[in-house]
Amino acid sequence: MNLNEFWDYLIPGISLGALYAVIAIGYTLVYGVLQLINFAHSEVFMVGAFAALLVFTKIEPSNPSGLMSVGLVALGFAVSGLAGAGTAFALEKVAYKPLRVRNAPRLAFLISAIGASFFLTHIAGKLFGRDPKPIPDLFVNKKVFEIFGARVSVLQLIMVGAAIVMMIGLDLLVNRTKMGMGIRAVAQDAETAGLMGVDINKVISRTFVIGGLLGGCAGFLFGLNSQVTYTMGFFPGITAFAAAVLGGIGNIRGAMIGGMVLGIVESFSAWQFGDEWRYVSAFAVLILVLMFRPTGILGERLGRTA
């Protein structure tokens, strides 16, 4: 084990983990208030990436640098976040609310989400083409500094920085604001929260929007890191969902930890066993952890612990 290589793999692991953490929050939030897996969240992520792709293909930035780059990245976050939030909002209205009104069984929600996920994936493929496309360069992705010989790039800094900002913001939002209190109340006991004057429908809708906002931004970051395709949501989506479960689904801080753990595990297993085994070890870790802690690292529910 070479110490330099250790850092070489740790840093991408952390930046990937930060992304997973941000996506996992979307899963965990929805699970918290609705107790169901939002299978279509991976498509929210994909839509965010496509929104950024569309905007920057239209703008065609030429060799941006300095302030221009900062502005473009901010624009990217705004656009993809909005697109993600909009998609999640529409998703809730179309694929979840009608079922909720009819008191459908839980598995029906799962299937409806799967259907919506299929639909969004393939309509994106149809609309925007099925070949991967890169987002145009928004900044010079140069080395910023080195930690023990491992290079840290601008993009990695942005990824980790944005993730940290989003996570802190979300934590404050959920724990300190009135809206957050509503979310926690619905997560704990929706019926009672409704009796106490919480508008359950609004809370659920807003929860989806918050999750979608984070998911869309994560999609933008992921698109910068690699390329944008219609199926891009699938693997990060599953892994982030695994991360949410690993941390204890419904638990926001758990999702952050779970995401980080899975990102780092993936990166290290790519180093130790080869790139093709990265997902195998991520899922193996998940199964092992769940065998010994059946409710994840930090344990259950939004309302009770976070």
Partner 1 sequence: MSSVTTKTREPEASFSATSLAKLRHKPWYKSDAFRRLVMCVLLGVLFTIMTGEQAGDDVFYSLNDSLTNWPWLGTWVAVAVGIWALITFHSYLLGNPALSPVHKVIKDATAEVKKVTPVLGRREVKWPLIIALVVVLALLPTWVSGFWNQVMVNEIAVYVLLAIGLNVVVGWAGLLDLGFIAFFAIGAYSAAYWTGKLPVSPPVELTPFLVIPVAVLTCLVAGVLLGAPTLRLRGDYLAIVTLGFHEIIYLLATNADEFTNGPAGVQGVPHPTLDLGFWSYEWTTTDLEQYWWMIMVIAGILIFLFLRLEHSKVGRAWTAIREDEVAAAANGVNTVKYKLMAFAIGASTSGIAGVVMASKVQFVSPASFELMFSVLVLAYVIFGGMGSIWGVMLGTAFLAWLPQILKDYVDEQDRHMYLGAILVIMMIFRPQGLIPSRRRKRELNLAKEGLGDADAMTEPVGGRVS
Q: Within positions 116 to 175, which residues make up the interface with partner 1, using CB under 8 A?
A: 116-123, 125-130, 133
For partner 1, the closer of residues 159 and 266 by Cβ is 266
Assess 106 for contact with partner 1 (CB under 8 A). yes
SS3 163: helix
Class of residue 4 by CB neighbours under 10 A (exposed 0-12, middle 13-18, buried 19+): exposed
Secondary structure, 3-state, 11-79: HHHHHHHHHHHHHHHHHHHHHHHHCCCCCCHHHHHHHHHHHHHHHHHHHCCCCCCCHHHHHHHHHHHHH
Assess 267 for contact with partner 1 (CB under 8 A). no
Assess 25 for contact with partner 1 (CB under 8 A). no
**Binders in 211-240 for partner 1, by CB under 8 A:** 234, 238
The string of DSSP codes covering 98-141 is: HHHHTT--HHHHHHHHHHHHHHHHHHHHHHH-SS-BPPPP-S--
Using CB under 8 A, pick the residue from 1, 62, 142, 276 that binds partner 1. 276
For partner 1, the closer of residues 51 and 160 by Cβ is 51
Using CB under 8 A, pick the residue from 68, 82, 99, 181 that binds partner 1. 99
SS3 150: strand
Assess 268 for contact with partner 1 (CB under 8 A). no
Smallest distance, Å, CB 114 to partner 1? 6
Using CB under 8 A, pick the residue from 61, 78, 100, 179 that binds partner 1. 100
> Contacts with partner 1: how many residues (CB under 8 A)?
73
Using CB under 8 A, pick the residue from 34, 159, 232, 260 that binds partner 1. 34
Amino acid identity for residue 25 in this structure? I
